[in-house]
Structure 1
Amino acid sequence: MMDCSTYKLYHVHGFDSRQLLENYFSDKPDMVFGDDSLKFPMENLAKTFKIGHIRGDILIDLSHASLIHPLYAASEFFKHIIVLKIQDRCILELKRWVDTRTGAFHWGHAAQLHADIVGKSDCLEASEGKVRSALQHVIKCDLEKENMTEPIDLPPADCIISAWLLDYICKDQDDYIRYLRKFSKLLKLGGHLILFGCLNATYSTVGRDRFHFFKYDEEFARKALVGEGFVIDRCEVKKRTNVSDLIDYKAVIFIAAHKEKNI
């Protein structure tokens, strides 16, 4: 086992964004994480949005890598999707898909999964087109700045989706709360925050490198959100069943909450 002090930091060192997608989000036969990285979040998003109280004009996606699959469900309930990314490579990867360029990562399996979940298996092209149409802006951000999208001032969002980003960028509990507060500032009062994460993980592997993961449990995540003025509407945890040494998480978590007050 590699000493944890040698683990790299996603937002400091960067990584091979395509390799990460291949390892954890592809449809390759040896990709064992599909139930946790694709099916679990997409099913929970569909269920959460179906209730009907999470919708609006602006959704901000603050996720790691160049993920598309959380946006299939979101694009049906929000007019405009703004994606914020830390790394240039992730922006290029995402824009390659949005512009349907040659060599873009194939998300067809995720589109099919979304269609199956919502019972619209005959609308694959329309589903992908809706995401591309809603995805108005892909913006580089700096999480350490007071205004992380400086010099651009974003309008307050109706909803924020953040998939696995906090897991990668937080070194400790204080970091988690600090970044959670930054995310909250992008959100309207009454707006919704949706988080995906891995519980009790310490590393993930991309290529030849291992990257730090912030280790936390469900209780901490719940307390952190409540402490930052959120009310938790839904929380689901799925225990890990796959076998792989690429990453050492014990379970995946989905949390949907709304912002009740400013802290």
Structure 2
Amino acid sequence: MYLVLLTNMAASGTTMDYAGLFDPEWYLKTFLSSIPDQHIEGDLMQFYMDKYCKIFQPGEVKGRQLLDIGTGPSVHSIISASRHVDDVYLSDFAAQNRKLLNDWWKSDKTLIENVTAYVLKQEKSSETVVERQTAMKGKVRAVLPIDVTLSNPLGSGSDITQFDIITSSLCLEAAALTIDQYRTNAANVASLLKVGGHFILNGVLEQTWYQVGEYKFGSVWLSREDIESTFVSCGFDIKQFDVLKTDDEVYSDFHVFFAMHAVKVREM
């Protein structure tokens, strides 16, 4: 099977060497330098930021500890969420992304300034970008290595076994090439959430590849039904599932953005 997988990937011109080939600076410049006026990726980020604001702004989704899975080189997932938790844990598979996150966390640097400014405007907040990102840094407790393909994704890197809230953006579909692997990955990350906890998942549908820098990375093709059935089987009650269709892909072949809010109601 491994040889078949490599052959199929070679034929499609894609790779799964995320940790070795992912370029964080290109990703930030291309996908997160502008919102909402950037072509398609700006539309995607605007959609996600609006959904984060809608979910977190009322203050009903809150808890002590939040884990962001597959943070990448960006902190957009916690701009709104960090205001409603005590402790934030960032995570990523690639060392270069974790280094960038640590450099941001332990310095006076800012990231994704335009995205942060957009969120503050949506929240009608009087904070500056620097003030919000300083507050975000004050909530961060660690930047953790993670591998969602493992039954214990955080390994021995964290003393916390379950969190109150999990957020994740454009991660799970990029860590699988088959629906069975996606379901396994979803079950692995679901084990990190407490019963009664909230899972906010952003991603894309109908994608088989995406490009970062010079490289195309493989991804599993997913329908809305695939995702909903997966998370229901993992013990979740889906509270909200919003989609936005697009036909203007540039660095991917996806056709739909989605944002899901689910509550874990039972262990598997």
Same fold judged by TM-score > 0.5?
yes
2:43 matched residue in structure 1: 35
Alignment partner for residue 193 of structure 1, among 199, 202, 225? 199
Name whichever of 144-153 and 248-257 sits farther off: 144-153
Q: Residue 226 in 1 paired to residue 216 in 2?
A: no
Name whichever of 186-195 and 138-147 sits farther off: 138-147
Cα pair 2:164 2:193 within 8 Å, conserved: yes
2:263 matched residue in structure 1: 258
2:6 matched residue in structure 1: none
Cα pair 2:88 2:139 within 8 Å, conserved: yes
Cα pair 1:24 1:31 within 8 Å, conserved: no
2:144 matched residue in structure 1: 139
Look up the SS of the partner of 2:79 in the other structure: helix
Q: TM-score, length-normalised on structure 2?
A: 0.89
1:212 matched residue in structure 2: 218
Cα pair 2:208 2:254 within 8 Å, conserved: yes
Look up the SS of the partner of 1:153 in the other structure: coil
Specify whether residues 146 and 111 from structure 1 end up closer, same or farther in structure 2 by C-alpha distance, changes over 3 A only.
same
1:70 matched residue in structure 2: 77
Cα pair 2:201 2:261 within 8 Å, conserved: yes
1:51 matched residue in structure 2: 58
2:99 matched residue in structure 1: 92
Q: Number of residues paired by the alignment?
A: 258
Q: Residue 159 in 1 paired to residue 158 in 2?
A: no
Look up the SS of the partner of 1:115 in the other structure: helix
After TM superposition, give the deviation of residue 147 of structure 1 in Å. 2.7
1:20 matched residue in structure 2: 27
Cα pair 1:20 1:65 within 8 Å, conserved: no
After TM superposition, give the deviation of residue 125 of structure 1 in Å. 2.6
Specify whether residues 96 and 184 from structure 1 end up closer, same or farther in structure 2 by C-alpha distance, changes over 3 A only.
same
- Per-residue CA distance 1:107-157 (angstroms, 9 max, x = gap): 110110111110114443321111111111101123344433232332420
Alignment partner for residue 170 of structure 1, among 176, 179, 189? 176
After TM superposition, give the deviation of residue 244 of structure 1 in Å. 4.4
Q: TM-score, length-normalised on structure 1?
A: 0.90
Structure 1 Cα separation of the partners of residues 179 and 31 of structure 2? 25
Specify whether residues 85 and 58 from structure 1 end up closer, same or farther in structure 2 by C-alpha distance, changes over 3 A only.
same
CA RMSD of aligned residues (A): 2.1
User: Which amino acid is the alignment partner of residue 264 of structure 2?
Assistant: K
Structure 2 Cα separation of the partners of residues 162 and 254 of structure 1? 10
- Per-residue CA distance 1:171-220 (angstroms, 9 max, x = gap): 11111110111111111011111111111111111111111121111111
Q: Residue 240 in 1 paired to residue 246 in 2?
A: yes
After TM superposition, give the deviation of residue 46 of structure 1 in Å. 1.1
Alignment partner for residue 116 of structure 1, among 99, 117, 121? 121
Give the gaps of 5 or more residues in structure 2: 1-8
1:183 matched residue in structure 2: 189
Look up the SS of the partner of 1:75 in the other structure: helix
Report sequence identity in percent.
Answer: 22
User: Which amino acid is the alignment partner of residue 133 of structure 1?
Assistant: G
User: Which amino acid is the alignment partner of residue 52 of structure 1?
Assistant: G
Cα pair 2:110 2:130 within 8 Å, conserved: no
Specify whether residues 105 and 51 from structure 1 end up closer, same or farther in structure 2 by C-alpha distance, changes over 3 A only.
closer
User: Which amino acid is the alignment partner of residue 241 of structure 2?
Assistant: C
Look up the SS of the partner of 2:165 in the other structure: strand
